A and B are shown apart, each in its own frame.
Chain A
């Protein structure tokens, strides 16, 4: 069992603010790191999958970085909008299993 941790647990930001949160995972036997965005009453939406140390991925105003040597990934949101309000989940995967953190709940206040 992999212990994946996310921080903070929840976050409230003003519209237009930039924000970031962290996913920590065991650095030994690392294979891949996945980020999902999960809006209430909807399906989790895949954002990024990263495998290589130093990977950076970007999708619109959202970007992510990966440090496999120290076992963490950052997710950044630039200029937060109310529609960014969601829970952001990360998962470390080995073979067929995804090990999820408990998520960061983001609320963007208009």
Chain B
């Protein structure tokens, strides 16, 4: 069974640029969630995708957007990068939306540095 993978592992961008992060979900999972972990903080929920539709969003501005593809892989796009966007971005997949008890399985993350 292949776990959750993310690419790239590291990325350096400058303010104002755009970035796309990618996530391949675990085999058999149709739900993908994205989290941002800033230095010294716990992961914060950005949004979730279920069957290619956004299914909930955290307190992040519209310049954070996402996509989910028919194979359930996902992208996180961030436009007009700001210095505060520097963080570790985690992707998590789960088997289905059954409720809060469903375990989310995480990838290793993409570390983004905005200069």
Q: Given the complex, which residues of B lie within 8 Å of A4, measured CB to CB?
A: 42
- What number of A-B contacts does a CB cutoff of 8 Å give? 66
* Interface residues, chain A, with chain B CB atoms under 8 Å away: 1, 4, 31-32, 34, 36, 41-44, 46, 49, 51, 89, 91, 93-103
Write out the residue numbers on chain A whose beta carbons fall within 8 Å of the beta carbon of B35. Answer: 98, 100
**A96 B97 Cβ-Cβ under 8 A:** yes
Q: Is A43 touching B106 in the complex (CB atoms < 8 A)?
A: yes
> By CB atoms of chain A within 10 A, which of B45, B97, B107, B109 has the most?
B45
- CB–CB A89/B42 < 8 A: yes
Q: What residue of chain A has the Cβ atom nearest to residue B58's Cβ?
A: A97
Could you say which of A44, A94, A103 contacts B100, with CB atoms under 8 Å apart? A94
26 A–B contacts from the bound complex (CB under 8 Å): A1-B59, A31-B101, A34-B104, A36-B106, A41-B108, A43-B3, A43-B105, A43-B107, A43-B108, A44-B90, A44-B106, A51-B100, A89-B42, A89-B43, A93-B100, A95-B56, A96-B31, A96-B33, A96-B48, A97-B48, A97-B56, A97-B58, A98-B33, A98-B45, A101-B42, A103-B42
**Is B99 part of the contact surface with A, judged by Cβ < 8 Å?**
yes
How many Å from the CB of B64 to the closest CB on chain A? 15
Residues in chain B near residue A101, CB distance under 8 A: 42
- CB-based contact B44/A93 at 8 Å: no
State whether the Cβ of B2 lies closer than 8 Å to any Cβ in chain A: no
Report the bound CA distance from A102 to B44 in whole Å.
10
B30-45 vs A: 1/0 string, CB under 8 Å?
A: 0101010000111111
Q: How far is the CB of B6 from chain A (nearest CB, A)?
A: 9
Tell me the nearest residue of chain B to A45, going by C-beta: B106
- Docked Cα-Cα span, A100 to B90, in Å, equals 13
Q: List residues of chain B with CB within 8 A of the CB of A97.
A: 45, 48, 56, 58
Which residues of chain B are near A51, meaning CB under 8 Å? 100-101
**Contact: B4 with A43, CB < 8 Å?**
yes
Of the candidates B43, B101, B105, which one forms a contact with A93 in the assembled complex, judged by CB atoms under 8 Å apart? Answer: B101
